Structure 1
Amino acid sequence: MLALSPMEQSALMLSLNASAQAVLWSLPLAIGLGWLLGSRRFPGHALLNAVVHLPLVLPPVVLGYLLLVLLGRNGAIGGPLYDLFGIRIAFSGEAVVIACAVVGFPLLVRAIRQSAEAIDPRYARAARSLGASELRIFVTVTLPLMAPGILTGITLAFARAVGEFGATITLAGNIPGRTQTLPLALFTVTQSPGTEAEAMRLCLLSLALAGAALLASESIARRMTPVRAAT
């Protein structure tokens, strides 16, 4: 078992907590967008899909800078929040959650969208013919059928959030005990000589977390296959 120092334990707990919050807060919007993109075609569909997936192709530091411009003390959103309510987002624990949410959001939406695309529309038509409302159809038919994609998206988004570096250090900084996540802690120890043991522990811990998330995602995907085949 790895013996972690207090700094390493703090970074690990901060990463897990921020990643879990990021997925939790972004999940309702991701479900809505994933269902919309996967089951509907409308003007601007391609544009909306591109905007949602833009964080996947942007360099993380660029993404973090854009967030800093919006949420910083003089930013379009962060400025009014600070002036009116005294709320400072940049270089805070909340900034870590926001950075994790933004980078993991496209993976969450993508998995849900693919699950929505695989749903046979005959199920909704059958429920509609029995007098079910659109809301009831979504809650009792569509949402359960999207559940495997939702679970897959959660695991992938969580793993991506745990490994986030560029956007986090740009928006939240690298403050030990406050905004220093697992990747930032690894970056910090690699800057000093004689810290190979600490760096290896953090590296192995990161590998274990990422591997566990990928294994969970693969397990969910395998369980999806019989359901799709039956439909």
Structure 2
Amino acid sequence: MRGDRINDPVNISSAESADSSSDEAVDTSSDEPAYTSSDEGVDMSSDERAYSSSDDGVDTSSDEGMCYRMKKKKLQKTCKDVCDCPREYSVGYDPNSEADWMYSKKFMMSKCARKRLSCYVHSVKPAIRHYVCEMNKTFTKAGQRMYFSTLFTEKHLMKFLSSPVDRMRIKLSSGRCLTYVQLMKGVDKRAAITHNWSRFVERAKLKEREICVFSLRHCKGVPVFTVHKI
């Protein structure tokens, strides 16, 4: 009697398959570069750290042992540099606001400019206060002065103005165009940058309607301003 031949089934284990899909790699999209300004031609100084999100690339695991990579948060794309986007938003300072910056007066800003402003202010070394100002015809004209609002003067500059400050440093956020100017209190109770302001405007290539952030700090009791174009 011919014996029956029994073929053992081949055991193919599914446990050997590794999850190595290439689309699980960490996303290093190039749309989140360090914050720089092409107008100044230099990366931001060391006290101006690149803005980044702390939860990027974090993995989380569920109770069942399933591992999922948290989707990387991406900043909404904005124009990296000073742009001509439509100015759709009216802004203005609020005396009771706890924001990190103060507007000079009511003026129009684009959506991109508002985002760049927030990104810049929250990525630099803390300041006494940031003053956001639109350059007008007076500020950019040769031989003229730069005025700060009465509110900003009273809250943040008056303590420095018992007498004119003759050698106050002002520079761009890149560290370029360092200029020594005079800061004084005007008869209308507004602080004004007088001597050498026009020279700084020329060197920094400030233009009418440009929006600039004046970051106020102090060194040995003397005010210091860093200017950044938005």
Q: Same fold (TM over 0.5)?
A: no
Which one has the bigger helix percentage? 1
TM-score, normalised to structure 2's length? 0.22
Which one has the bigger strand percentage? 2
Larger Rg over CA atoms: 2
TM-score, normalised to structure 1's length? 0.22
